[in-house]
């Protein structure tokens, strides 16, 4: 064995996952298929990943004894959740392999740090202002209408308020209890696209095809791969995502969200983990984003990210159980009647409004037929 080979972690080693949501669950599934074992840390005893992990440490993300157990029993650790305290990653990294780094996660979990990084890296972003005091809110003019976003812990459109002017921005800032925020100019979006990529310790990058995303109430609704925009925009998104990952010295799986405004591409935000808009890779790519995450942290070579089918992914929210005010199981049999539809349910017990309960992906050779089937299947669920 040369030193390169011996630094590779082979099955049946125990890997660690911080966070037990659906992203962690897909990681566990990929790791199991590849011959690895997984310990999941998540305070929820019913967490989707914890339920199927080899070991579930049911404790807080800063629980010293749980972190000690993880450091002692896991040979490599990753995260599915950007709000794991960066200190947790830093602590674990002292005694075991951890990807992504605490540094990268600290940037991704704070909107001001994130935007400052984009700016310093020369990456294109929309106009924004950091808001730590009400007096930072700009006067009426160019910046409005705008979106006020809390700098930390926002997701799925939570912690965001659309504001028409300074007076509304002040009210929204009060409502957010004067937490640190960013104010972003509201852009007129022609399209939203994303790139999920994996970058290994040597700096090799495997990027998945650029996907097109549509949101409903701030939550991802549908992803289409490949995106239906110009080849120039798609290629540009790939280039920017790779540049960003290299500049961050990122190791792991990274999701990069973009706004398309005319022929301009602007970076919206990054996620230091597999991304919902990369779920289509489970069924439509040679290697999926979770297998890639296992490959990166174990030091195995990156897999081929190429698409083998056109794909349309549709999220299934708790709302699908709660239509017309009644709780009723969605019509699964109608979805399963489509032979090109791949169903993924996350095993969450309680279908709350806006909660991501599962998704399905329709795959096939004909992009238009795939889209039509996905639309039909989506409407039939309710
Ligand atoms: P989250 O962390 O909730 O994903 P995002 O910043 O990505 O937060 O915002 C969610 C969605 O809201 C975006 O995908 C986009 O559709 C819309 N949005 C956010 N910021 C802007 C903006 N500045 N201009 C226009 N639309 C926006
Ligand atoms: Mg987003």
Prediction ipTM score: 0.99
Of all protein residues, the one whose alpha carbon is nearest to atom 9 of ligand 1 is 157
Mean pLDDT of 38-50: 98
Task: Please indicate whether residue 275 or residue 82 has the higher confidence score (pLDDT).
Answer: 275
**Residues whose Cβ atom is located within 5 A of ion ligand 2:** 257
Gap from CA of 157 to ligand 1 centroid (Å): 7
Using an 8 Å Cβ cutoff, are 42 and 24 in contact? yes
Q: Is the pLDDT of residue 2 over 60?
A: no
Q: Which residues have CB under 6 Å of ligand 1? A: 126, 147, 154-157, 184, 186-187, 189, 192, 215, 218, 257, 268-269
The count of C-alpha atoms lying within 13 angstroms of the C-alpha of 197, restricted to the half-sphere facing its C-beta, is 25
Gap from CA of 72 to ligand 1 centroid (Å): 39
Nearest ligand atom owner, CA of 162: 1
Q: Is the pLDDT of residue 190 over 90?
A: yes
> How many CB atoms are closer than 10 A to CB 226?
19
The domains of the chain, with CATH numbers, are 3-98 (3.40.50.20), 127-185 (3.30.1490.20), 191-380 (3.30.470.20)
Q: Which residues contact 111 (CB under 8 A, 6 or more apart)?
A: 149, 150, 151, 152, 154, 181, 182, 269
Sign of the CA dihedral running 335, 340, 346, 347: positive
| The two structure tokens encoding residue 264 | 């301009």
Per-residue pLDDT, 6: 58
| The two structure tokens encoding residue 255 | 């999701």
Q: Is the pLDDT of residue 51 over 70?
A: yes
Element (H or E) spanning 362, and its range?
strand 356-364
Using an 8 Å Cβ cutoff, are 96 and 76 in contact? yes
> How many CB atoms are closer than 10 A to CB 26?
25
What's the CA dihedral at 337, 339, 342, 343 to 10 degrees?
Answer: 10
Considering the chain, what is the average pLDDT of its residues?
Answer: 96
pLDDT tens-digit map of 55-80: 999 999 999 999 999 999 999 999 99
Using an 8 Å Cβ cutoff, are 252 and 293 in contact? yes
Of all protein residues, the one whose alpha carbon is nearest to atom 1 of ligand 1 is 155
Of all protein residues, the one whose alpha carbon is nearest to atom 17 of ligand 1 is 218
pLDDT tens-digit map of 76-109: 999 999 889 999 999 999 999 999 999 999 999 9
Using an 8 Å Cβ cutoff, are 148 and 181 in contact? yes
Q: Which of 118, 156, 160 to mutate to test the pocket of ligand 1 (most atoms within 8 A of CB)?
A: 160
- DSSP letter assigned to residue 209: P
Residue 186 Cα: closest atom of ligand 1: 24
């Amino acid at each position: 064995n040369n030193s390169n080979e011996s630094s590779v972690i082979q099955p049946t080693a125990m890997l660690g996952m911080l966070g037990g949501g659906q992203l962690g669950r897909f990681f566990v599934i990929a790791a199991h298929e590849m011959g690895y074992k997984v310990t999941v840390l998540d305070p929820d005893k019913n967490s989707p990943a914890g339920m199927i992990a080899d070991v579930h440490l049911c404790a807080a993300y800063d629980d010293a004894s749980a972190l000690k157990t993880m450091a002692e029993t896991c040979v490599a650790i990753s995260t599915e959740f950007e709000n794991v305290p960066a200190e947790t990653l830093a602590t674990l990294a002292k005694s075991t392999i951890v990807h992504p780094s605490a540094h990268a996660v600290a940037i991704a979990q704070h909107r001001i740090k994130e935007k400052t990084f984009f700016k310093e890296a020369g990456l294109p972003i929309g106009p924004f202002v950091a808001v730590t005091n009400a007096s930072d809110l700009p006067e009426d003019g160019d910046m409005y209408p705008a979106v006020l976003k809390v700098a930390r812990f926002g997701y799925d459109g939570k912690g965001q308020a659309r504001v028409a002017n300074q007076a509304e921005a002040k009210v929204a800032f009060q409502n957010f209890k004067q937490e640190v925020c960013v104010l972003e100019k509201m852009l007129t979006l022609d399209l939203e696209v994303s790139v999920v990529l994996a970058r290994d310790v040597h700096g090799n990058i495997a990027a998945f095809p650029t996907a097109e995303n549509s949101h409903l109430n701030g939550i991802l609704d549908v992803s289409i791969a490949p995106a239906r925009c110009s080849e120039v925009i798609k290629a540009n998104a790939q280039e920017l995502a790779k540049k960003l990952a290299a500049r961050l010295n990122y190791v792991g799986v990274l999701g990069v969200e973009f706004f398309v405004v005319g022929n301009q591409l602007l970076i919206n935000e990054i996620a230091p983990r597999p991304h919902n808009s990369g779920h289509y890779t489970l069924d439509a790519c040679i290697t999926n984003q979770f297998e890639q995450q296992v490959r990166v942290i174990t030091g195995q070579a990156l897999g081929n990210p190429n698409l083998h089918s056109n794909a349309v992914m549709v999220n299934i929210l708790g709302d699908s159980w709660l239509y017309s005010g009644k709780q009723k199981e969605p019509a699964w049999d109608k979805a399963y009647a489509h032979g090109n539809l791949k169903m993924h349910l996350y095993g969450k017990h309680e279908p709350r409004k806006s909660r991501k309960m599962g998704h399905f992906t329709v795959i096939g050779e004909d992009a238009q037929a795939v889209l039509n089937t996905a639309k039909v299947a989506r409407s039939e669920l309710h």
